[in-house]
Amino acid sequence: MFDIDSYFRDFVDKEEIFQDRDVLRPEFIPKLLPHRDLQIQKIAEIVACTLKNSMPSNIFLFGKTGTGKTAVVNYVSKHLNLQCREFGMTESKWIFLNCQQVNTGYRILAKICGEIDPSDPVPIAGWPIDVVFDKLIDKINQQVQGNCFIVLDEIDVLVKNARKKSQDTLYNLVRINSRLKTAKVNIIGISNVLNFKSELDPRVISSLGEEEIVFPAYNAVEIKDILEQRAEKAFAPQALDPEVIPLCAALAAKEHGDARKALDLLRKAGELAERRNAKVVTPQYVYFAQDNMENDKMKEYCEALPLQSKTILLSIYQMERHLQQEAVITGDVYNAYTEITEMIPGMNRLTQRRVSELIRELDLSGMVNARVKSNGRYGRTKFIKLNIPLSDTRKYLNSESRFADLIEYRPICLREKTTNLSGKKYRKLM
């Protein structure tokens, strides 16, 4: 039997790999941000006028994931407030919102209200949006002195989710200053999507995109510098093999220069070495960590899927397993899905339109590959393929108790060698 108490005691006593593993987490802001001088300088030049009680321009930051956009804004905010304190001025209020989590216009306004005055929060739903907006104006007028920066991270998600209403909120936010007495609000939009501006309302672009800064992806040498800076604090002396950092940097640079991924990889490699009581993190642990992270990601994603998406994945699994070399198309998946939903008590059946949408989501997640292809007079449809091995898919699906008797099921539509749609039968495409 596993002795948890002695395990914890041994853990504390054993020789340490890490000095401070939190240094490798994305939330950690170091004293220096390597290879981001230009971007720091540009933002500093824009926001510096707050030190002379002027209002800076709104800013748009573009760049792929893990290029340091949020870290740079955080860094500038800390240093600006430090200077405010030194000059005896009122510090600027910085509100950071991630639009992936706070993804509607109403919630953005409610969240900002809550950040400004936590003692009087806006309910999560129920109020007309103009009432929330008026409340926000009151709060800012009462509680904010000087400048207030609202940082909207992943702003592209907000626009994609509910175009019209969210864009109205953005439009109102960028024009909020006309209704404020003394405080001034500035918006900093951060986006991973470079062409995202083309989806924005022209009214919002003209106000929001006053200044634009692009964050290029890091190359392997730059990622290596970042890792070395963090590793010095994160790991115990002699705990890292000299080949580990160049390897992590090279692997991350290959994947679009994502520094966050490189830091995750290095931390995970350290944790694996620690769990195996190794004294040194070697390149072998980096490869272990890479495999581990991929598997963990897929497993977690699959287990967290709603039942409907899981059922669609099960349908794709069954079709691919039994058809082998033949192509799996949307119609076939829908037929199998229809059969399975009838076998799960209490489960409702979605329309083909919705199922097609969920297949697209599975495609975006990387679990399956769905490409639209025309087959001439046999129509245009998605050709679907699992992106993970059948055995792994089976393992992930097995965790769903309602699929216990369905994993081995062979759909009737397969046995018939025809596909059934709108009450008519068609021969299979391939």
State the nearest-atom distance from the C-beta of 412 to DNA, in Å: 16
Looking only at residues 390 through 429 of this chain, which bind DNA when binding is defined by CB under 7 A? 419, 421, 424, 426
Furthest C-alpha separation in the chain = 80
DSSP string, 268-322: HHHHHHHHTT-SSB-HHHHHHHHHHHHHHHHHHHHHHS-HHHHHHHHHHHHHHHH
List the one residue from 29, 372, 390, 412 that touches DNA (CB under 7 A).
Answer: 372
Rounded-to-10 torsion of CA 288, 230, 259, 217: -140
Q: Does 329 bind DNA (CB under 7 A)?
A: yes
Residue type for position 409? Y
C-alpha 428/C-alpha 421 separation (Å) is: 11
In the bound state with DNA, the residue whose beta carbon lies nearer, of 292 and 420, is: 420
Q: Does 8 bind DNA (CB under 7 A)?
A: no
Among candidate residues 404, 430, 403, the one with its CA nearest the CA of residue 305 = 403
Q: Does 118 bind DNA (CB under 7 A)?
A: no
Radius of gyration (Cα) for the chain, nearest Å?
26
Contacts of 237 (CB under 8 A, 6+ apart): none
Stretch that binds DNA, among 100-108, 141-149, 274-282, 287-295 (CB under 7 A): 100-108
List the one residue from 351, 401, 404, 417 that touches DNA (CB under 7 A).
Answer: 351
Q: Does 269 bind DNA (CB under 7 A)?
A: no
State the nearest-atom distance from the C-beta of 192 to DNA, in Å: 19
List the one residue from 353, 405, 408, 417 that touches DNA (CB under 7 A).
Answer: 353
Q: Does 103 bind DNA (CB under 7 A)?
A: yes
List the one residue from 19, 81, 356, 365 that touches DNA (CB under 7 A).
Answer: 356
Sign of CA dihedral 342, 344, 350, 352: negative
CB atoms within 10 A of CB 237: 7
List the one residue from 25, 175, 354, 385 that touches DNA (CB under 7 A).
Answer: 354
Give the number of C-alpha atoms closer than 13 A to the C-alpha of residue 253, restricted to the C-beta side: 16
In the bound state with DNA, the residue whose beta carbon lies nearer, of 37 and 120, is: 120
In the bound state with DNA, the residue whose beta carbon lies nearer, of 123 and 242, is: 123
State the nearest-atom distance from the C-beta of 311 to DNA, in Å: 11
List the one residue from 53, 141, 143, 375 that touches DNA (CB under 7 A).
Answer: 375
| Site map 196..235 versus DNA, x via CB under 7 A | ----------------------------------------
Asked if residue 335 lies in contact with residue 355, where contact means CB atoms within 8 angstroms, the answer is no
In the bound state with DNA, the residue whose beta carbon lies nearer, of 101 and 398, is: 101
State the nearest-atom distance from the C-beta of 51 to DNA, in Å: 35
Q: For 18, which DSSP code?
A: B
* Paired sense of beta strands 59-63 and 211-215, if any: parallel
Q: Residues interacting with DNA, by CB under 7 A?
A: 103-107, 123-129, 161-162, 165, 306, 308, 329-332, 348-354, 356-357, 359-360, 372, 374-382, 419, 421, 424, 426
